[in-house]
A and B are shown apart, each in its own frame.
Chain A
Amino acid sequence: MTVIEETSVPSPRDGGADGGPLLEVRDLHVEFKTREGLVKAVNGVNYSVSAGETLAVLGESGSGKSVTAQAVMGILDMPPARIPQGEILFRGQDMLKMSAEERRRIRGQRIAMIFQDALSSLNPVLSVGYQLGEMFRVHQGMSKKDAKAKAIELMDRVKIPAAAARVNDYPHQFSGGMRQRIMIAMALALEPDLIIADEPTTALDVTVQAQVMELLAELQREYNMGLILITHDLGVVADVADKIAVMYAGRIVERAPVHQLYKRPAHPYTRGLLDSIPRLDHKGQELYAIKGLPPNLLRMPSGCAFNPRCPKAQDICREEIPALVPVTEQDGSELVGRASACHFWKETIHG
């Protein structure tokens, strides 16, 4: 994902001093036109990230978590995709209303993305140093020599051993973990305000996964970046996230700070997910399994999309789509940052 364009670099980062969130997604809808009909992949998603914060977007395949991120990055193929409504505010400015030129300037320099498959995101015929240096040559007009020095510095920063010796190597000469580091280096090159990481460690081994996640968290602290982590792994989320948005069938079904979500889920889907993963620290009995299958995006069930799989479903769940409402304590006191899209959230969280 090398986005290169001949534009001047805007003023250096203002450090997020304006107080508002870095990125805010409001009521975003995305649909795809396919032969079989209209696929509504995202149906009214709201989330926000501030500088230095990690938002985890948790969901299974087809939940719309990646599509939302691609809409934010502006890398959806349109057509077949269409954004019928919604706003994507970056520092208060709606990116959907910007010109293509303005968006390109933000993409890559202010918002960067890391993908799951590092090998296919790097150009196989160019050396790693060249690809890293390209960012500086094109965006900042550096000389070839300076750009290479910068590339080595970046590779050092993402802890690639013997960076100076390996700067001229090609992507296939690196292991999966090292390639993902290079992708991170590339995303970091222009010191963006926000990084979107789409399943950054899914393709990696456990021991390497731990290295990469630690690196990412460290760099985030150092640069005070916002991070949107898109994943399906409840373990990874628990390790790094500050707050979580759980997605199901193109909607956010629950939003909560990380500790609260694991302790007291307020949506039956979240509860089901947490109960269905086996534990490392004890053997346990039979796993709880959410029955049925993820919904068909072409033939969405009426009412709540989760109702055919939900143990708590009542008639109202089949008739009315539940709104994402704030979750409160039993005595009515506020639970900061919590919301659930379930008609029976009270029963789910309190008893």
Chain B
Amino acid sequence: MAELSKNDEQQDATPNVSEVEVVDAHSETEAVAAIEAPVERGEPILQVRNLQKHFPLTQGILFKRQIGAVKAVDGVSFDLHQGETLGIVGESGCGKSTVAKLLMNLERPTAGEIFYKGQDITKLSGRALKAVRRNIQMVFQDPYTSLNPRMTVGDIIGEPFDIHPEVAPKGDRRRKVQELLDVVGLNPEYINRYPHQFSGGQRQRIGIARGLALNPEIIICDEPVSALDVSVQAQVINLMEKLQDEFNLSYIFIAHDLSIVRHISDRVGVMYLGKMAEIGTDTQIYDHPTHPYTQALLSAVPVPDPDAREHRERIILTGDVPSPANPPSGCRFRTRCWKAQDKCAEEVPLLAVPERFQGSDTPAAHESACHFAEEKDVVHAA
């Protein structure tokens, strides 16, 4: 239980929250009040600090004994500002989907805090948690499994109102559902149909309508368009951008498609094996990456321009992503990195503005977890 003691040290810079599990009525009311208070545009609405999730590996049938842990998320910190889109990219197994589940409170973190308007939502329960859930919603990856096949579209989009009856009075719900269908570009007359009567893109619109129903402030999108056809992806991306402006939403946009993430995000975080490798604005990450992993990732993306294939520099990484159950010591990327030195095996690089860029105002001066960070433009390289 080394993580827990680490957690105690971690409370310095962050707002302090009572550790008491059972929240009494008074502090719960306070929490609800804090959650319902508005946040200024541009202010941080969500602060994630040293988030960890370790899934225990167990052996035995009745009496389970832990033989290790998959460190899916291992110390991730970032802020989400009101009204912005934060993109999180990474390859499969990097922990980006686990981050989404943790932010949604669908999994309890092993350690770390998630502050929503100053309240650590990982420790909330009951009424306060329900109030948080109203404000943080999710859009799922697979439009074929994210809608209950035995419920009508009206019931699916109306379910949030059943669970939070205070949002819409009973007689008003049908009209509200039809409004939502209209907002996401579906015919309001489809209210009595079932999900299997729709195509993938239409289902994803239904999923978005469900996410919008409670008028949330944050929507977490876990690969929302990767299951869709190319010609439909653009429709859904445009819809999401339109809704963001209309409802003043903040997005966390998790995806593996770097082009789409650049298009929609204001800031981008790159994850590798449970850690954040680099984070910055879209220009900083895409045009001035300093972490070797980001550079390799960007250079590997196939660009829809056949002229580029002759003179584009490709950094082809060797090997596969190591197992998160047994990550490399020091820097996790060192086993595939062409710059790796002894230091990388010994010392975990911290996510910070690299020393050589500190104080300068070049776009390369953004947080990057590499001992040997240096700028290299791989996207425009000729």
A and B touch in their complex, CB below 8 angstroms: yes
| CB < 8 Å neighbour of B91 from A178, A205, A214, A280 | A205
A206 within 8 A of B: yes
Tell me the smallest distance from the CB of B299 to a CB of chain A, in Å: 8
Measured CB to CB, the nearest residue on chain A to B304 is A234
CB-CB < 8 A to A232: which residues of B?
Answer: 229-230
Q: Mark A261-299, 1 if CB is under 8 A from B, else 0.
A: 010000000001110111111011011111101100000
Please tell me if the beta carbons of B262 and A278 are within 8 angstroms of each other in the complex: yes
A12 within 8 A of B: no
In the complex where A280-B379, A293-B202 touch, is A238 in contact with B259 (Cβ < 8 A)? no
A43–B200 Cα distance when bound, in Å, is 24
| CB < 8 Å neighbour of A233 from B235, B241, B302, B320 | B302
| CB < 8 Å neighbour of A293 from B232, B233, B296, B379 | B232
B140 within 8 A of A: no
Q: Mark A206-217, 1 if CB is under 8 A from B, else 0.
A: 111111011000
A294–B3 Cα distance when bound, in Å, is 51
CB-CB < 8 A to B305: which residues of A?
Answer: 238, 262
CB-CB < 8 A to A235: which residues of B?
Answer: 259, 301-304
B234 within 8 A of A: yes
CB-CB < 8 A to A288: which residues of B?
Answer: 234
Measured CB to CB, the nearest residue on chain A to B229 is A60
| CB < 8 Å neighbour of B258 from A178, A262, A280 | A280
Number of interface residues of A (CB under 8 A): 49
Please tell me if the beta carbons of A276 and B233 are within 8 angstroms of each other in the complex: yes
Please tell me if the beta carbons of B300 and A234 are within 8 angstroms of each other in the complex: no
CB-CB < 8 A to A280: which residues of B?
Answer: 258-259, 262, 286, 298, 301, 303, 379
- Contacting A at CB under 8 A, from B251-282, are 256, 258-260, 262-264, 282
B380 within 8 A of A: yes
In the complex where A178-B320, A274-B304 touch, is A283 in contact with B262 (Cβ < 8 A)? yes
B348 within 8 A of A: no
Measured CB to CB, the nearest residue on chain A to B298 is A280
A238–B306 Cα distance when bound, in Å, is 4
Q: Mark B342-381, 1 if CB is under 8 A from A, else 0.
A: 0000000000000000000000000000000000000110
Q: Mark B308-319, 1 if CB is under 8 A from A, else 0.
A: 110000101111
Please tell me if the beta carbons of B259 and A278 are within 8 angstroms of each other in the complex: yes
Please tell me if the beta carbons of B263 and A278 are within 8 angstroms of each other in the complex: yes
Please tell me if the beta carbons of A211 and B231 are within 8 angstroms of each other in the complex: no
Tell me the smallest distance from the CB of A90 to a CB of chain B, in Å: 28
A61 within 8 A of B: yes
A236 within 8 A of B: yes
Please tell me if the beta carbons of B199 and A281 are within 8 angstroms of each other in the complex: no
Please tell me if the beta carbons of A272 and B231 are within 8 angstroms of each other in the complex: yes
A311 within 8 A of B: no
In the complex where A239-B309, A262-B305, A280-B286 touch, is A286 in contact with B300 (Cβ < 8 A)? no
In the complex where A278-B259, A280-B259, A294-B231 touch, is A238 in contact with B302 (Cβ < 8 A)? yes
A209–B283 Cα distance when bound, in Å, is 25
Interface majority SS (helix, strand, loop, mixed), chain B:
helix
| CB < 8 Å neighbour of A281 from B230, B256, B318, B379 | B379
A211–B299 Cα distance when bound, in Å, is 12
Tell me the smallest distance from the CB of A335 to a CB of chain B, in Å: 16
CB-CB < 8 A to B283: which residues of A?
Answer: 283
| CB < 8 Å neighbour of B316 from A210, A236, A284 | A210
Number of interface residues of B (CB under 8 A): 47
| CB < 8 Å neighbour of B297 from A207, A214, A259 | A207
B11 within 8 A of A: no
A163 within 8 A of B: no
Please tell me if the beta carbons of A289 and B304 are within 8 angstroms of each other in the complex: no
A24–B283 Cα distance when bound, in Å, is 47
Please tell me if the beta carbons of B237 and A278 are within 8 angstroms of each other in the complex: yes
B329 within 8 A of A: no
CB-CB < 8 A to A205: which residues of B?
Answer: 91-92, 256, 321
Tell me the smallest distance from the CB of A249 to a CB of chain B, in Å: 12
CB-CB < 8 A to A178: which residues of B?
Answer: 320
A286–B259 Cα distance when bound, in Å, is 13
Measured CB to CB, the nearest residue on chain B to A161 is B319
Which residue, of A274, A283, A284, has the highest number of chain B Cβ atoms within 10 A?
Answer: A283
A233–B316 Cα distance when bound, in Å, is 19
A123–B259 Cα distance when bound, in Å, is 36
- Contacting B at CB under 8 A, from A287-340, are 287-291, 293-294, 309
In the complex where A259-B307, A281-B379 touch, is A208 in contact with B320 (Cβ < 8 A)? yes
A133 within 8 A of B: no
Please tell me if the beta carbons of A289 and B256 are within 8 angstroms of each other in the complex: no
B238 within 8 A of A: yes
In the complex where A61-B229, A206-B300, A258-B306 touch, is A276 in contact with B234 (Cβ < 8 A)? yes
A213–B309 Cα distance when bound, in Å, is 13
A332–B307 Cα distance when bound, in Å, is 26
B44 within 8 A of A: no
Please tell me if the beta carbons of B259 and A209 are within 8 angstroms of each other in the complex: no
Please tell me if the beta carbons of A290 and B304 are within 8 angstroms of each other in the complex: no
CB-CB < 8 A to A309: which residues of B?
Answer: 231
A34–B195 Cα distance when bound, in Å, is 21
CB-CB < 8 A to B318: which residues of A?
Answer: 211
Which residue, of A235, A258, A288, A291, has the highest number of chain B Cβ atoms within 10 A?
Answer: A235
Taking A209-B302, A277-B259, A289-B237 as given, write out 19 further A-B residue pairs in contact, using a Cβ cutoff of 8 Å, ordered by the A residue number.
A60-B231, A207-B296, A210-B300, A211-B316, A211-B317, A234-B230, A236-B302, A237-B304, A238-B309, A258-B306, A280-B379, A281-B303, A284-B263, A287-B263, A289-B234, A289-B238, A290-B234, A293-B201, A294-B232
